[in-house]
Structure 1
Amino acid sequence: MIAIQSSLDGQRGTFKELFEFFNAHDFAIGGNWDIDGGFFDLKMGTDEDEGKYYFLRIPGIPEQGNFGENGAIIRLGTPFLLVHHYQNDQDDTARYRTYTAVMDQFASPVEKDASASDEWVRRTEEWLRKIETEFPFG
């Protein structure tokens, strides 16, 4: 995880406003969200030679209401670059049971928070600056 200084840090909006803005810029809600907070995630790209996925991740912390409720007031946290280093081969521990096939078919990541090259940090900063100039709140 590489934190990136941003004018978005500390900005507020309703969940609905933030969701619509980030959705229009190809962000998705990260899969591990709950009522106490979540992330607006943008998949920046993949480096297949290194087996890495790159994400720009912006935390959303509810100040009033719950994350996911349209009217909840959400404060944005410090954006960061997150790198997942995945296995290029099959997972030897995967199970061949019908009821767990959906969960067991994919290999575990080698690293959930791998390092990033200076080039990926630069790309992420550039994308973040574009988002900052278009951010309509605050």
Structure 2
Amino acid sequence: MLKLDTVLQGKQARYGEIEPIMSEHGFTLSGNWEYEEGMFDGILNREGGETVYLRMPFDVISGTLEHPDTLLAFGQPFVIKHVVNVGLDHDESALLASTGFDQFQKPLAKDAHIEKKTKWEIRGEEKVAEMFGDHEFIHS
């Protein structure tokens, strides 16, 4: 995992204002969110069985997650790499797994070693700045 230094950390925004930006840039609410915390996930790179994600964690300050008026406070974004087995599988999801699209396949490594760390730190930080650098509704 590579922790990033970005403009987003420590900032607050309403879910209804932030979600369309996330969605526009290919980020989704992580599937294992809680009512008091969660993270937005986006793919920086996918090659073979390796996927490099940019994750933006947040805490719910007030409201209920997924409600437009819910206030979120962002933590420190980070980059993480998952490695999955894209070889042939002998069960009913063989086609999905062999093409790398089996969303339910468990990663072989959830926090795999990231080579070229500086490259991914820069890409992650640039992506956050691109998405949020000029938005006035994001405040401290």
Q: What TM-score do the two structures reach when normalised by structure 1?
A: 0.79
CA distance in 2, matches of 1:22, 1:105: 20
Contact 1:29–1:38 (8 Å) recurs in 2:
yes
Change (3 A) 1:84 1:105: closer
- 1:29 corresponds to which residue? 29
Relative to the length of structure 2, the TM-score reads 0.78
Q: 1:7 to 1:117 in 2, by over 3 A?
A: same
Would you say 1:88 and 2:86 are equivalent positions? yes
Q: Is the Cα–Cα contact under 8 Å of residues 65 and 71 in structure 1 kept in the other structure?
A: yes
Q: What is the aligned-residue RMSD (CA, Å)?
A: 2.4
State the distance in 2 between where 1:43 and 1:123 align: 11
Report the equivalent of 2:71: 73
What SS does the corresponding residue of 1:134 show, helix, strand or coil?
Answer: coil
Q: Identify the residue that residue 101 of structure 1 maps to in structure 2.
A: none
Task: Give the equivalent residue in structure 2 for 1:58.
Answer: 56
- Structure 2 runs not aligned, ≥5 long: 93-101
> Structure 1 stretches of 5 or more lacking a match?
97-103
Q: d(CA) in 2 for partners of 1:40 and 1:116?
A: 20
Give the fraction of aligned pairs with identical amino acids, expressed as a percent.
Answer: 26
- Aligned pair in 2 of structure 1 residues 105, 68: CA closer, same or farther (>3 Å)? closer
Decide whether aligned partners of structure 1 residues 105 and 16 sit closer, same or farther in structure 2, where only a CA change above 3 A counts: closer
Q: How many equivalent residue pairs?
A: 128
Runs of at least 4 residues of structure 1 off by over 3 A? 104-107
